[in-house]
């Protein structure tokens, strides 16, 4: 299990390329999402497109 905290300020969608590498070696994603963060939503979408198993815990 790899635990990563994404600590960045998303200015536009191109910035997400920087964090997309976090999913490159994974086969699943567990994410805690408030339903608002665009960066977390992008990570969910990226993981889904790559065929990863995705579990979203809403808070």
- Per-residue pLDDT tens digits for 5-18: 655 555 555 445 44
Domain residues for the domain of 35 are 24-58
Residue 30 resides in a domain: yes
Q: Please compute the mean of the pLDDT values over residues 15-22 and round it to a whole number.
A: 52
For 5, list phi and psi in degrees, rounded to 5.
-105, 120
CA distance 47 to 5: 16
Residue 11, domain member (yes or no): no
User: Is residue 9 one of the residues assigned to a domain?
Assistant: no
Determine, yes or no, domain membership for 33. Answer: yes
- Residue 10 forms part of a structural domain: no
Q: Is residue 54 part of a domain?
A: yes
Residue 43 lies in a domain: yes
Q: Which tops the pLDDT comparison, 56 or 49?
A: 56
User: How many folded domains does the chain comprise?
Assistant: 1
Q: What are phi and psi of 2, to 5 degrees?
A: -110, 125
Does some domain include residue 41? Answer: yes
Q: What is the pTM of this model?
A: 0.64
Band of residue 2 on the pLDDT scale cut at 50, 70, 90: low
């Amino acid at each position: 299990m790899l635990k990563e905290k994404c600590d960045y300020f998303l200015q536009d969608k191109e910035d997400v390329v920087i964090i997309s590498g976090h999913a490159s070696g994974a086969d699943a994603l567990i994410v805690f999402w408030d339903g608002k963060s665009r960066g977390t939503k992008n990570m969910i979408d990226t993981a889904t497109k790559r065929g990863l198993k995705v579990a979203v815990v809403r808070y």
